[in-house]
A = this chain, B = another copy of it.
Amino acid sequence: MADVKGGPNPLFLREEELRQAMELLFFAYRDFTGEPDQILADYGFGRAHHRVIYFVGRNPGITVSELLAILRITKQSLSRVLGQLVRDGFITQRPGLRDRRQRLLELTDKGRELENKLTEQQRIRIARAYRTAGAEAVEGFRTVLTNIIDEADRGRFERPEAPGKQGAKAAPPKSAARR
């Protein structure tokens, strides 16, 4: 951690730096996801339910395939938790207008309530970290994390002020406007 500017072993420093990043990700994700679990347990749900509720809440009218692409799980796995959430009245399905094979997903009021309860602690945690770290650090946080993400999904996080390659994507992905 001393030995900046071409010390005796820059490769070791690089390695150490990379490993610290990996651990930061591990610990941050561990703690970030750790809190909502008790609430979920009260409902007989797990993290998978949380993820589904979250992304349906964020993308009202999302299709099943879009959700699958985000979560990167099989339809059978999704079907299990999604089925429960629909049966228990947290999510509604309705056929697509243009394509009636699709099941457009949306949170019910009950679903929105649970979503809010679940993410509240996470929002507080992030807000605290953002406040403590300051705007400049937040900018760096976003930049690095975006670059860690597979290129295919970076579009979700494009900033309008980005100079250079600003394609034509301002809207989220494809969903959201299919109601």
Taking beta carbons and an 8 Å cutoff, which residues of A are in contact with B? Answer: 1-2, 14-15, 17-32, 34, 51, 54, 58, 72, 119, 122-123, 125-130, 132-134, 136-150, 153, 156-157, 159-160
Contact = CB atoms under 8 A, between A and B. Distances in A.
Contact of A126 (B18, B34, B137): B18
B144 A129 contact: yes
B159 A130 contact: no
B22 A122 contact: yes
Nearest first, the 7 A-B pairs at minimum CB distance are: A140-B140, A137-B140, A129-B147, A141-B144, A24-B145, A137-B143, A28-B148
A82 B167 CA distance: 48
Q: Is the interface of A mostly helix, strand, loop or mixed?
A: helix
B1 A148 contact: no
A166 B14 CA distance: 24
A147 B124 CA distance: 12
Given A21-B130, A130-B144, A153 B29 contact: no
Nearest to A31: B150
Contacts of A145: 24-25, 27-28, 129, 141
Contact of A24 (B2, B19, B34, B146): B146
